[in-house]
Structures are given as structure tokens and as C-alpha cells.
């Protein structure tokens, strides 16, 4: 069978590419070996946020008296929280399938095997395509720590489905995934310890705000071991033993459960990628241009496989650009304003340059910073909660970065991302009329 576009992988990049191509009138084949929606929808973005919202609701109920609302007994039902998470995922997966079907996308379940740039096999069938879009996503990376194979550890997938709470949880890795699970389990009363090799949690986020978030969670009982290397793992009847070393020497912690959350890496094996002989970057990622084209004509790479940004929203935009290129529409990928969000409570979000990245690039910048209390809406809805908004300007007073600690950072960060992408100066951005009262007004106050 022949198609104008063959897409391997049905995650955010794959299903967006398929839908966009279908809407553009192209004949499209999408091959997915697991479930439509990929990691993000089935075991990442959506399920974790569903769990975190339950935890946030529980937190709000526990502290309702701050808002003159009395709730005598607050409790939660973990099996029902997990069941609701599964229901949300099922609903959204069906929604993705419905959109693809409505746009005449042919969906095939199974493992794809690339024969060459125009030929893909899946099961007993062989398909021919004019264009090939690779959206194979990423997988959990488990570092080769001595003893790791002998420990009954959790990955994020296991943590999402556990219907019983451990008394204690050790998390190896203080990145986004690690901190979101730390937040969830801490809210439900689990003793949590986070072991992080770097000198601060959330490596890619603004360090000052990351430190403030860490301090907040330390007050809530989470223990952090920073600049700490895990050197060994072992299993006992009491739980998992994490042996580590840091500037203070060697030590160990024991917890009923261990969550390995060191990071993710692009999926590059098992589907015949080597048969394309694509040019790679110095870091081993697939080299693409601003149209997501690889070194082989007619082959595009989108999402985690580029190795640039392992974020669903980046993948979605890359997929649009790739299909627009196939359709002959003028478009180009920009990474100038890719938001990053951590859905803890409070949330932390950032877009554009951090102080650290600006310094590394030799960019002269100015920082303007205000407490979130300058927003009346924030004060009304966050009794006794502190937050910070920080904006970075370059020498021409253009907005080059923005970072927010405080709810709902995830919802307002796009305001700053738009300003960065459009190259607005502080004065130009301030001319935009913000509705009052909103938390997003904090950007006007900062400027």
C-alpha cells in the first residue's frame, strides 16, 4: 500500500503530524506499537497531572480553614484516585483516535521496521511512502548503579499505578519527574527523600526559584540530599537501601520503596533507524534543520528523537512544522520560547533564558523581580503562600526570559513566551491590556 506520509510513533509528535497531514489532504499511515498518545498521554504528562490535581485538592481541603471554610474530616481514597487517572487517560486516548479517524488517518498497531526511506514493514504488511516522519519518543533511563538489578525499584509507570502508599519513598533524581512524584506522595503523607547528583533540583529551571521550591518542600518534610552520588543499591526486608557519597562522606538511606527518576533518553533502536544512515550531531542526536528535515530527503524527525527538548509541547510544534514543509507551507521551528513547567504545588514555570544560561552565552541582561503578592488575585487565592516572578531583559530591553514560582505558573507563562517569541521590549509588552484581577498581571507589575 502507498501513502504520501508514513509516521512511526503515535505520541504527541506522531498524532499531531498525522492529524495535520490528514487535514492537509494527504494520505497518512500512523504506526504505533503500544497505545495512541504515547508516553505523555498514557504514562506521563496526563496521568501525573491527574494524580497531582487530586493531591492538590486534598491539600486545599486540609487547609480550607485559611479561607474560612471548615471541613471537619478530610481523607482520600488512593485506589479511586488511581481509577480516576485511568479513566481520564482512556477518555483522552479515545479522543485522539477519534480526531485521527475524522481526518482519514490509517492507524496500524504493531512494531514498525524501516527498510529504507520509502519502505516500512509492520507485521506481515509492507507499506510504501513518499515521506517518512519519525516520532519514536523516549524511554526511562536506568543508570548502571551497582546493585540496581537486585532492587525492586519503581519507574514512573509503577508509581502511577500503585494502589497502596509506602510509608517511605526514596527518589533518585530531583528533576521534573522526581519532584512531581515527591510532591504527590508528600501530600498524601509519605516520608520522602530526594537524592540528586547536581547541586540543585530541577537542573534546567531558574536556580533561585528552584531553591525556593526546595525550601518550601523541605518545610513540608521532604529531605533533600544534593550534590550526592548514588554509589550502590541493595534490597533488605525493610526496603531499598541507597548508598551514597558526597562532600560529607559516605552514607545510606533506607526506604520502603525506591523510585528511579534519573531521566529519559530518545528511543533509537528496534525500528531500523540504522538503515537510513542519518547524519547525527556531535552529541549523537539526529541532525535536523529548521523544517525538521534530516540529511535524507523526505525523512523528518520530530519529538524526543531530536534529542533537543523532551517535552510534549515542543514535539507538537515540531510535527506541525514538518508537515507544513511536506505541504509546501512556509514555516520554521523556533526554540526561542519553549516553556518548562513543574506541576508541584506551588507550580514553577520558566521560558526563555535563565540567569545561568544567559551568563553561559555571554548575554548582558537585567533582572526585574517581584513577589507574587503584587498580584491581587494571587493574594486572594493563596493565603499565607509566597511566590516570585522574575523577568530577564537584554541590553535593548527586550524580554528574553521569565520565571514564576506560584500557582498558576503553568497557565500564565505563555504570556511571557509570546513576548519572547515576538521579540517584544518591556515597553511594548506593557502596552498589552491584561484583565484585572488576574495572576498574569504580575508581569505588568514587574515591568
Residues 375, 234 share a domain: no
- The whole-number pLDDT of residue 1 equals 85
What CATH number corresponds to the domain at position 196?
3.50.50.60
**Is 189 assigned a ligand-binding role in the annotation?**
no
User: What pTM value is reported for the model?
Assistant: 0.95
DSSP code string of 313-343: HHHHHHHHHHHHHHHT-------TT--EEE-
Enclosing domain of residue 19: 2-140+265-327
Q: How many domains does the chain have?
A: 3
Give the CA dihedral 294, 296, 297, 303, nearest 10 degrees: -30
Residues 37, 16 share a domain: yes
Q: Is 436 a catalytic residue?
A: yes
- The whole-number pLDDT of residue 307 equals 87
Residue 442 lies in a domain: yes
Residue 145 lies in a domain: no
Residues 351, 311 share a domain: no
- The whole-number pLDDT of residue 309 equals 86
Q: Which of 156, 324, 403, 436 is catalytic?
A: 436
Nearest to 10 by CA among 27, 34, 28, 26: 34
Residues 349, 274 share a domain: no
Q: What is the pLDDT along the chain (447 residues), one digit of tens a residue?
A: 899 999 999 999 999 999 999 999 999 999 999 999 999 999 999 999 999 999 999 999 999 999 999 999 999 999 999 999 999 999 999 999 999 999 999 999 999 999 999 999 999 999 999 999 999 999 999 999 999 999 999 999 999 999 999 999 999 999 999 999 999 999 999 999 999 999 999 999 999 999 999 999 999 999 999 999 999 999 999 999 999 999 999 999 999 999 999 989 999 999 999 999 999 988 888 999 999 999 999 999 999 999 888 999 999 999 999 999 999 999 999 999 999 999 999 999 999 999 999 999 999 999 999 999 999 999 999 998 999 999 999 999 999 999 999 999 999 999 999 999 999 999 999 999 999 999 999 999 888
**Is 175 assigned a ligand-binding role in the annotation?**
yes
Residues 432, 372 share a domain: yes
**Is 25 assigned a ligand-binding role in the annotation?**
no
Residue 91 lies in a domain: yes
Residue 102 lies in a domain: yes
Helix (H, G, I), strand (E, B) or coil at 182: helix
**Is 7 assigned a ligand-binding role in the annotation?**
no
* Structural domain ending residue among the three candidates 218, 235, 262: 262
Residues 434, 373 share a domain: yes
Residue 164 lies in a domain: yes
Residues 237, 301 share a domain: no
Residues 281, 257 share a domain: no
In angstroms, the Cα distances linking 181 to 170, 193, 269, 342, 441 are 11, 11, 29, 11, 30
Cα–Cα distance measured from residue 365 to residue 310, given in angstroms and rounded to the nearest whole number: 27
**Is 412 assigned a ligand-binding role in the annotation?**
no
Residues 302, 254 share a domain: no
Residues 136, 20 share a domain: yes
Residue 65 lies in a domain: yes
Residues 374, 228 share a domain: no
Residue bearing cell 533524581:
173
Residues 274, 252 share a domain: no
Amino acid at each position: 500500500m502507498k501513502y504520501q506520509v508514513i509516521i512511526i510513533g503515535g505520541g504527541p509528535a506522531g498524532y499531531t503530524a498525522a492529524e495535520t497531514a490528514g487535514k492537509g489532504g494527504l494520505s497518512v499511515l500512523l504506526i504505533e506499537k503500544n497505545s495512541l498518545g504515547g508516553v505523555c498521554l498514557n504514562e506521563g504528562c496526563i496521568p501525573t497531572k491527574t494524580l497531582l490535581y487530586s493531591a492538590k485538592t486534598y491539600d486545599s481541603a486540609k487547609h480550607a480553614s485559611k479561607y474560612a471554610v471548615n471541613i471537619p474530616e478530610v481523607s482520600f481514597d488512593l485506589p479511586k484516585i488511581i481509577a480516576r487517572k485511568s479513566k481520564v487517560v482512556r477518555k483522552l486516548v479515545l479522543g485522539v483516535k477519534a480526531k485521527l479517524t475524522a481526518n482519514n488517518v490509517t492507524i496500524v498497531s504493531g512494531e514498525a521496521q524501516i527498510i529504507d526511506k520509502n519502505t516500512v514493514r509492520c507485521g506481515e504488511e509492507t507499506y510504501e511512502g513518499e515521506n517518512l516522519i519519525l516520532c519514536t519518543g523516549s524511554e526511562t533511563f536506568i543508570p548502571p548503579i551497582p546493585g540496581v538489578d537486585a532492587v525492586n525499584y519503581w519507574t514512573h509507570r509503577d508509581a502511577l499505578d500503585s494502589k497502596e502508599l509506602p510509608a517511605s519513598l526514596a527518589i533518585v533524581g530531583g528533576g521534573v519527574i522526581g519532584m512531581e512524584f515527591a510532591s504527590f506522595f508528600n501530600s498524601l503523607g509519605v516520608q520522602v527523600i530526594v537524592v540528586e547528583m547536581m547541586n540543585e533540583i530541577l537542573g534546567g529551571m531558574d536556580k533561585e526559584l528552584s531553591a525556593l521550591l526546595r525550601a518550601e518542600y523541605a518545610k513540608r518534610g521532604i529531605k533533600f540530599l544534593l550534590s550526592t552520588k548514588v554509589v550502590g543499591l541493595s534490597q533488605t526486608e525493610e526496603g531499598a537501601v541507597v548508598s551514597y557519597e558526597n562532600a560529607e562522606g559516605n552514607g545510606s538511606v533506607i526506604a520502603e520503596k525506591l523510585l528511579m527518576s534519573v531521566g529519559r533518553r530518545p528511543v533509537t533502536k528496534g525500528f531500523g533507524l540504522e538503515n537510513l544512515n542519518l547524519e547525527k550531531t556531535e552529541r549523537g542526536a539526529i541532525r535536523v534543520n529548521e523544517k525538521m528535515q534530516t540529511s535524507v530527503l523526505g525523512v523528518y524527525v520530530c519529538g524526543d528523537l531530536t534529542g533537543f527538548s523532551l517535552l510534549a509541547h515542543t514535539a507538537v510544534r515540531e510535527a506541525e512544522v514538518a508537515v507544513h514543509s511536506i505541504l509546501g507551507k512556509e514555516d520554521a521551528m523556533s526554540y526561542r520560547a519553549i516553556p518548562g513547567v513543574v506541576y508541584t504545588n506551588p507550580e514553577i514555570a520558566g521560558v526563555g533564558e535563565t540567569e545561568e544560561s544567559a551568563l553561559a552565552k555571554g548575554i548582558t541582561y537585567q533582572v526585574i523581580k517581584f513577589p507574587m503578592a503584587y498580584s491581587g488575585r494571587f493574594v486572594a487565592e493563596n493565603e499565607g503562600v509566597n511566590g516570585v516572578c522574575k523577568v530577564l531583559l537584554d541590553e535593548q530591553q527586550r524580554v528574553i526570559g521569565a520565571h514564576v514560582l506560584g500557582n498558576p505558573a503553568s497557565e500564565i507563562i505563555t504570556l511571557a513566551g509570546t513576548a519572547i517569541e515576538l521579540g517584544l521590549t518591556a515597553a511594548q509588552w506593557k502596552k498589552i491590556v491584561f484583565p484585572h484581577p488576574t495572576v498574569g498581571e504580575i508581569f505588568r507589575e514587574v515591568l
